[in-house]
Amino acid sequence: MSIHEVFMPALSSTMTEGKIVSWVKSPGDKVEKGETVVVVESDKADMDVETFYEGFLAHIIVEAGETAPVGSAIAFIAETEAEIEQAKSLANSGGAAATPTSSPEPVAATASAATPALASQNGSNHKEGRLVASPRARKLAKELKVDLTTLQGSGPHGRIVAEDVEALSNKGKQPAAAPVAPPAPVPISAPVAPPAPRTPAPAPVAAAVPGQTVPLTTFQNAVVRNMVATISVPVFRVGYTITTDGLDKLYKQIKSKGVTMTALLAKAVAVTLQKHPLLNASYSDQGIVYHSDINISVAVAMDDGGLITPVLQNADAVDIYSLSRTWKSLVERARAKQLQPQEYNSGTFTLSNLGMFGVDKFDAILPPGQGSILAIGASRPQVVATPDGLFGVRQQMEVNITSDHRIIYGAHAAAFLQDLAKLIETNPQSLTM
């Protein structure tokens, strides 16, 4: 008998269980080796999962929307059609599938969502006419009752994305009757000087139902575990006021070239970290870990709850234009929950900005495995005393750094903030060089 178990894969080092977002294949469908069969939600992203075997998807054990521990069986694949009924019987009896000559092997592997090859595979395109759609598009189509077969995808290789589903759903409908799609995730790193004094609505965490308890999402549970892990870390905080007139002026000059304020802030922090490697380090039981790269994580709130930190890798060495393009790509893939693990867990220093909400200052919680996080408040016009003894109006923002006191002391953090302020206030143009 050649019946194989499909196991719940470990998509990240912190993943203990996964949730089935959708089955790309249905029971009885032919599957090719290396073809996507299921989309799994880990603690940070939705990942396409491929099969190592060729045959037929005989039986689904864990349905869409259900959760299973890493390593547990979620489906059976039969090598021949004749064995499909045997697989169903095996599932009903609770038995394990194995060939007589070998022990069960995992048959699911993560697919690289960042490559064009995967984009063409997502949704079983091995057969002519099969749908190619992102996990978020499939989820949204189900919610809005949109038939994906009627859509022409606008994504890479004709991939159907969430925007295609929203456009069809809203077409020809009155505004009052149109379904409301979830808002895009709010990057917690926006221009320090908002163009208008408007307070945006925060991203919803879950549908609020009075009198009911709404279960936490996989993302939210991951945040809970990380936050609990930081309780045992002794931290301290240092605040600083930075004048942003020069930075704001530079941003207005180059934003038409695709430069984002997030990239400018990340670049400024990364360049300053070159002079302060201890702020880019982290604690371990063996001592201080000095990281060879400066990778800036930027906190982003997800629209369905939870928090993720896409990473701008080697931010000190990458030019501002490439850095901005990379950030745009990271946010788009974070929105679709398509980030690869190294794109959200390789950070060495974190930025968190609530300035777009009008927050003056706040304390950020130190992420596990890092030495510091910088909280950025709103940039506001302030009346200040000028060097010539007069009064003037300057744009200023409050920043507040939280650091691991086991390896970083107050003087270290203060020196870093001084140099960061000096760069932003006196030489912001250097960020474009």
Catalytic residues: 405
Closest CA to 124 of 30, 41, 216: 30
Backbone phi and psi for residue 290, each to the nearest 5 degrees, phi listed first: -90, 115
First to last CA, the chain: 64
Q: Which two tokens stand for residue 184?
A: 């895009």
CA atoms within a 13 Å half-sphere pointing along the CA-CB vector of 190:
20
Cβ-contact 196, 358 below 8 angstroms: no
Contacts of 104 (CB under 8 A, 6+ apart): 4, 5, 96, 97, 98
Count how many residues are written for the chain. 433
Q: How far apart are CA 337 and CA 161, in angstroms?
A: 12
Closest CA to 242 of 198, 312, 193, 309: 193
- Tell me how far CA of residue 429 lies from CA of 20, 65, 90, 279, 425, in angstroms: 48, 50, 67, 24, 10
Q: How far apart are CA 155 and CA 161, in angstroms?
A: 6
Contacts of 318 (CB under 8 A, 6+ apart): 312, 326
